[in-house]
A and B are shown apart, each in its own frame.
Chain A
Amino acid sequence: MSQTLIEKILSRHTIGKEGDHRLISYDHLLLHDATGALLIEPFQKLGRPLAHPERILAAADHFVPPATAERAEILQQYLDFTKDLAGIRQKPFSGICHQILIEDPLVGPGQFIIGADSHTITAGGLGALACGLGSTDILFSMVTGFTWLATPPVVKITLTGQTGPHIRGKDFALEILHQIGTTTYPDYGFECFDATASKLSMDSRFSLACMGAEMGASFFTIVPDAITATFLQNKNCSIPPVYPDETAHYDAQLSIAAPPEPLVSIPPAPWCVEKVSALSHIPIHQAFVGSCTGGRLEDIADTASLIRGKRVAEHVRLVVIPASNEVYLAALEQGYIGDIIRAGGIVDAPSCGPCGGIDKGIIGKGQNMIASSNRNFPGRTGPGDTYLASALVTAASALTGYITDPREFMA
């Protein structure tokens, strides 16, 4: 029987059944300091060994470096805990967990990945299946070696049209959110085909897959192609891709054309979307380029290319946080970081930053932020209002102090 990519990967990882649920083994399990700290005490109480320590990747990215004494203590507890877990892959202070996961040569298409963070879904950009879970679910999987889930219905999404230099994966994510919101396909697996003329870059695809969490998707996987193959080759990953069958049945189908102009999500939720040109009256106090959605090399390069040789608007904070050390080093080598600093930007060390309201860069009451990150629920990034857009829109807005179409600054 022909299968979707999602069915294929699930089938290959199914090791049992329990009622209506599949028991699924995982190739990787992702931990970070904030949600990882929550499972220390129950893990010790449970007193069971790890089922597959070598499959666990432990990042530290939320409280890095910590902004308060309490967070320093939480971080330290987590570091002490993971240090004693023999055989796991320790990667603290290397960047945001979702970014270091996709950079890891052991992580590739066809795999099943779980993580203690909703944006674990990002790794679907590789043609893998990845989903976020809570701390107790993750602890369960650490000691049993599997998780459970019901087989999700699958929606096929075909991306079409011309992307052009001003349209990124983030704009596609916002276009999808604009069309379907967050409850049209609740808990569906999203299987995405890139049929655009110019093809999205891998960085754009990860940005899109990451926002799958905001669409209510259980998985957001992008069917591998030549772009994926080059990315895998460059990171020395030889895991063979898995493809859907041509005759696979989908429970729903959706065709998404590239939006003609960049899009912006307005408060109070990611699925409230407007064209950038409709928002040019909105002043901003901060522009943030970073996070697991918008802190990759493409985002930093877009920011640098837009503001090179110019100045950030007076009294506007442009905060740039590369998603990982690898991204940071590449951005340094390419000169992007210098461009950003010389234009008046603030560059911070790889971490989640203000996304999640956690750390440096949060905004105060009455302040507006435009951000390349993923969520703008009230209170998410501090008490102010957050608008979500691509790094290009974010950088252009930093230059003018108002939400701005980047094409004003593109040759």
Chain B
Amino acid sequence: MTTFAYIVGDNISTDLIHPPNFFSLDKTIRQQGLLYGYNQEWARTIEPGSIIIGGENFGCGSSREVTARVFADRGIKLVCAKSFARIFYRNMVNLGIPICTITSAIPWAEGRRVALQESQDSSCLTDETGAYILLKQPSIFARTIIDNGGLLNSIDHLFQTPADE
């Protein structure tokens, strides 16, 4: 089964991923902002099940968590990038949204239909010509959080709550 992968460049800030004027507690307002700062047409048309492919430093800037939550709001299947900004990466993991790091060159300049093949440690995206992107899964720690459906579902599974200092 193939799905559409959208490709963006380096240093995509959270202000491009989800402009501040879409900040809302109302999902119907919030979800309209997905990548609106990057491409207003995409914001309207990105289908659930799509994949986002980013460059270096994806998600830099503001920590506001709606910028991660919007990917779940819109049913994005996977967000992958060459590297992520720290807070954004944690937000995605904490919300249980699938995320991977790209470890190969990106052979495509524009979006296309790809197939996602997943395995324990690494995965890949392949197009119809056989061109591919290699993906590295998050650490076991992060993956456990994602598999539990997010950080709040992991409190008892993952952490032996230590005594305070």
Contacts and interface: CB of A to CB of B under 8 A. Distances in A.
A143 B161 CA distance: 11
B20 A182 contact: no
Contacts of B155: 140, 143-144
A338 interface: no
Contacts of A20: 139, 141
Interface string B45-73: 00000000000110011111110110000
Nearest to A139: B152
Interface stretch (A129-137, A365-373, A397-405): A129-137
Nearest to B96: A136
A132 B59 CA distance: 14
Given A133-B87, A182-B11, A379-B20, A19 B140 contact: yes
Contacts of A51: 164
Contacts, number: 136
Interface residue tally on B, bucketed by range: 35 or more
A260 interface: no
A137 B161 contact: no
B160 to A, nearest CB: 7
Contacts of B151: 136-137, 140
B34 interface: no
Nearest to B153: A46
A347 to B, nearest CB: 23
Interface stretch (B21-29, B103-111, B115-123, B125-133): B21-29
B64 A136 contact: no
A386 to B, nearest CB: 11
Contacts of A216: 57, 60, 85-86
A378 B16 contact: yes
Contacts of A52: 164
Nearest to B154: A140
B101 interface: no
Contacts of A21: 141
Contacts of B95: 136
Interface string A9-41: 000010110111101010000000011011000
Contact of B61 (A77, A136, A375): A375
Interface string A124-154: 0000000011111101100111101000000
Interface residues of A, number: 51
* Chain A interface main SS type: mixed
B1 interface: no
Contact of A15 (B37, B152, B164): B164
B90 interface: yes
Nearest to B88: A134
Contacts of A139: 152
Nearest to B24: A70
A393 B85 CA distance: 30
A216 B59 CA distance: 11
A16 B152 contact: no
Interface string A46-79: 1000011000000000000000001000100100
A356 interface: yes
A38 B83 CA distance: 26
B74 to A, nearest CB: 17
A216 B139 CA distance: 20
Interface string A316-355: 0000000000000000000000000000000000000000
15 contacts: A15-B163, A15-B165, A19-B140, A23-B159, A25-B164, A35-B64, A51-B164, A74-B24, A136-B152, A144-B159, A145-B164, A216-B57, A358-B20, A375-B13, A380-B15
Interface of A: 13, 15-16, 18-21, 23, 25, 34-35, 37-38, 42, 46, 51-52, 70, 74, 77, 116-118, 132-137, 139-140, 143-146, 148, 182-183, 186-187, 216, 218, 269, 356-358, 375, 377-380
Interface of B: 11, 13, 15-16, 19-21, 23-26, 29, 37, 56-57, 60-66, 68-69, 83, 85-87, 90-91, 94-95, 139-141, 150-152, 155, 158-165
Given A38-B69, A135-B64, A144-B155, 8 more contacts: A16-B160, A23-B162, A38-B25, A116-B63, A134-B68, A137-B91, A144-B159, A357-B20
